[in-house]
Copies of this chain bind each other. A is one copy, B any other.
Amino acid sequence: MEWHEIRDPQDPELDRLAARYRLHPLHIEDCRHGNQNAKVEESHGYLFTVLKQVSLKSDGSLFIDDLDIFLGRDFVITVEPVDCPAIRQLLEAAHKAASSPRGDQIFYRIADGTVDSYLPILDRFSEGIDELEDQVLDRPVPDALARIFETKRSLILLRRVLVNTRDVIGHLQRTESDLIHRDLSPFLRDVYDHVARNLDLVEMQRDLLSGSLDIYLSSVANKTNQVVKVLTVLSTIALPALVISSIYGMNIKGLPWIDSPNASAIVGSLMLAATVVLLALLRFFRWL
């Protein structure tokens, strides 16, 4: 049982291993080229698996790396990207735990570690969505809109990784290849359950996120409604006063009460009465 750790996909060592274990050229190409979907392919004498390591960059966007694993009867080859501390750490942990285990046990440890690493990311998204929801209910600013769509984009990416990973584990559970021993089956089912639960979470978060967008739009509509109401009330108060005072500003004769010494009191009351009647009408007909 040999475990070959290739720490750079361009390492020519990979070619030597390919020749020695008769690995398919398309698989070597997949390792070199990277950026594959998570997948598993059964070849003569070995299983080729691509797993995806997901990390959060400091700006909250996702960073996704490939981890390629060849699992043969008496060998395991892991091909990791050059600069990914998360994968390094994962493989080292698998190394420590595995004194001299079987190849499929090593594979299980790596797959389990990879899947476990998705949960903290989902938790971060979950918190982010809760915050967003509160924020858009309270203050629907365009900045929140941008964050909603960034999160949406990340969830779309993450969902794709999870769906493919679930299919990989599901396939390995059902495989009849003798490279995976029967006693590993409950453990693979456990990993499968974890991925499935993560996927449930992602679906739920997508649902909630699309809800956030609805809140956003509703809140903006609400705020506009409120502002227009304020404008209308202001106009309702001001317009009668303006009209009446304009009328008494005309340079014509015969305006009522114009020569009365109480003119200003009368006219003032008129303005007040007009405004009050108007506001009462609006309220009575529930127009506002």
Contact = CB atoms under 8 A, between A and B. Distances in A.
A193 B242 contact: no
B231 A231 contact: yes
A33 B258 CA distance: 82
How often does this chain occur in the complex, in copies? 5
A218 B222 CA distance: 11
A227 B287 contact: yes
Interface string A188-205: 011001001100100010
A243 B238 contact: yes
Interface in A196-251: 196-197, 200, 204, 207-208, 211, 213-232, 234-243, 245-251
Interface of A: 24, 26, 36-37, 39, 41, 43, 133, 137, 140, 142, 145-146, 149, 152-153, 156-157, 160, 186-187, 189-190, 193, 196-197, 200, 204, 207-208, 211, 213-232, 234-243, 245-265, 267, 278, 282, 287-288
Given A227-B228, A241-B247, A249-B250, 15 more contacts: A37-B196, A43-B186, A137-B142, A140-B222, A142-B218, A145-B218, A152-B211, A214-B217, A220-B221, A227-B232, A230-B236, A246-B246, A251-B251, A253-B260, A254-B263
Lowest 8 CB-CB distances: which A-B pairs, in order? A248-B250, A245-B246, A252-B263, A254-B264, A238-B239, A249-B249, A231-B232, A224-B225
